[in-house]
Chains A and B, each alone.
Chain A
């Protein structure tokens, strides 16, 4: 009986140890690589990828004047193909004024309010998704930068990692349990991804529309029946930062299409 208990305890320790094991760099797969051939085909062709409709919208917004400044994004930033190239690969990034990292959406909202003098765009609004999709599109194919190049974000990456490995919700699951350990296994017909944020904002067939990484994280939290955070909450940004660190070097593929 005692021996049995000991074995059980050892098995438990082993299981818990494995829960925090990270995926070796050379075994990482983007969500794209785990897609079926039909979904891949939708994403591959810009003429069939519905995310491109938002990119087109974003391109139009980029040129449109807004707010009391009467300025368009293009007047300061010029041609997005040059000025926004690589930007998505290094966000969330540290923002001195906020004293913490902010994500790309937050950066766009901030630019809109402070530089353009326009009202803030709501999270998950069509305009914000379109502008973000347009900006991220300019980084397609570029590798995600290691956020830890900027040492100011270190505590936030650590906070994100803690959240990622924290069991939560009624199902008592941590992100790491599915996305580090059980990737490539099935969950309701789809392969579980490794959770690399390479394609956001992305067109999800389930949503029938575009959505941000925060919306996706919210989905996962609801899935494990945990408490969600409000859009724009620092917890989401910390999680995104840790996810970018995990995905460092993987190519940006936005706008991605997912089941």
Chain B
């Protein structure tokens, strides 16, 4: 199980632009590297990430082999209402991690 670190400001004012930071543990093996015996190490990457805010998708990205290990993504959104942000990463070998964070809008 991969660990993920998520940073969302817990309390914000309505209409405020907030920064969301996510960091997830993953080797992001490119599939182009040979191992010590010369055989290619199979590709193992995260290929998609989505973030939803109370069910509405606010950010999505695709990832490719050139991404560094342990991908760190930050993005911004406007705080509209209190609720939950949900984060989902998916990738090779059935990789799937879901996390969520609460946000309180005043």
Among B15-33, those with CB < 8 Å from A are 21, 23, 25, 27-28
A59 to B21 Cα, complex, angstroms: 22
Q: A56-B3, A57-B3 given as contacts; is B70 within 8 A of A50 (CB)? A: yes
A172 close to B (CB within 8 Å): no
Is A47 an interface residue, CB under 8 A from the partner? yes
Query: Counting CB contacts under 8 A, is A104 at the interface?
Result: no
Q: Which residues of A contact B25 (CB under 8 A)?
A: 50, 53
Assembled-state Cα–Cα distance A50/B70 (Å): 7
- List, in ascending order, chain B residues with CB within 8 A of A208's CB: 27-28, 68-70
- Whether a CB of chain A sits under 8 angstroms from the CB of B39 is no
Smallest CB gap from A46: residue in B: B5
Q: How far is it, in angstroms, between the C-alpha of A45 and the C-alpha of B7 when the chains are bound? A: 10
Q: How far is the CA of A208 from the CA of B69 in the complex (A)?
A: 6
Asked if B3 and A53 sit within 8 Å, CB to CB, the answer is yes
Once A and B bind, how many residue pairs between them come within 8 Å at the CB atom?
35
Is residue B72 contacting chain A, with contact meaning CB distance below 8 A? Answer: yes
Kindly supply a per-residue 1/0 record for chain A positions 187-218, scoring 1 wherever the CB is within 8 Å of any chain B CB and 0 otherwise.
00000000000000000010011000000000
Distance in angstroms between the alpha carbons of A257 and B69 in the assembled complex: 14
A205 neighbours in B (Cβ, 8 Å): 68
Least CB distance, A257 to chain B, in whole angstroms: 11
Q: How far is the CA of A47 from the CA of B70 in the complex (A)?
A: 12
Whole-angstrom distance between the alpha carbons of A221 and B27 in the complex? 26
Given the complex of chains A and B, what is the CA–CA distance between A205 and B27 in angstroms? 12
A61 to B6, CA, bound (A): 21
Q: A228 → chain B, closest Cβ, in Å?
A: 15
Which of A47, A57, A209 is close to B23, meaning CB atoms less than 8 Å apart?
A47
Distance in angstroms from A122 CB to nearest chain B CB is 16
What residues on B are CB-neighbors of A52 within 8 Å? 5, 23
Query: Which chain B residue shows the least CB distance to A42?
Result: B72
Q: Select from chain A the residue with minimum beta-carbon distance to B68.
A: A208
Residues of A within 8 A of B68 (CB): 205, 208
Quick check: is A22 within 8 A (CB to CB) of the other chain?
A: no
A222 to chain B, nearest CB (A): 15
Q: A45-B7, A47-B5 are in contact. List 9 more A-B contacts (CB 8 A).
A: A45-B21, A48-B23, A50-B25, A50-B69, A52-B5, A205-B68, A208-B68, A208-B70, A209-B27
Can you identify 14 A-B contacts, CB atoms within 8 angstroms? A42-B72, A46-B5, A47-B7, A47-B23, A48-B21, A48-B23, A50-B69, A52-B5, A52-B23, A53-B5, A53-B23, A53-B70, A208-B27, A208-B68
